[in-house]
Amino acid sequence: MKSTCTPNSKPRAAFWTADYLLHHCEGFLVDTEEGHLGYVADVEEIDDGTVELIVAGQGGTYRVSSRTIQQFDPEAERIAIAGEPGRLGSPETLVGSC
């Protein structure tokens, strides 16, 4: 019997749970009510079990709580948030900080 899977095929998001995908959403695009904010550069789990997204964009780097997510679309790799994210710093202040 011939397999329908190919080595280069990308698994569909429907296979994974939303919680798993939220913990592994690096690279997803993030939008606010005002427009595009940036992309998820890192995901951090907080002590209370919530997730915070570190979002990098042209205006700087932001910390976004998972509580502000209005729409999470794993298929499109997009996240829409409500409210204002907490700013971590400008791109200049974060260069070489690792």
Report CA-CA distances (Å) from 84 to 21, 47, 48. 23, 22, 21
Q: Determine, yes or no, domain membership for 25.
A: no
Q: Determine, yes or no, domain membership for 84.
A: yes
Sign of the alpha-carbon torsion through 13, 39, 54, 65: negative
Q: Determine, yes or no, domain membership for 65.
A: yes
- Per residue in 30-60, pLDDT (tens digit) is 999 889 999 999 999 988 878 999 999 988 8
Confidence of residue 88 (pLDDT cuts 50, 70, 90): low
Domain count, the chain: 1
pLDDT of residue 59: 84
Tell me the residue range of the domain where 56 lies: 32-90
Give 12 or 87, the one with higher predicted confidence.
Answer: 87
- Which helix or strand (DSSP H or E) is residue 92 part of? helix 91-94
**pTM over the 0.85 mark:** no
β-strands 78-81, 29-32 pairing: parallel
What does the radius of gyration of the chain's CA atoms come to, in whole angstroms? 16
Place of tokens 């939008």: 31
Q: Determine, yes or no, domain membership for 11.
A: no
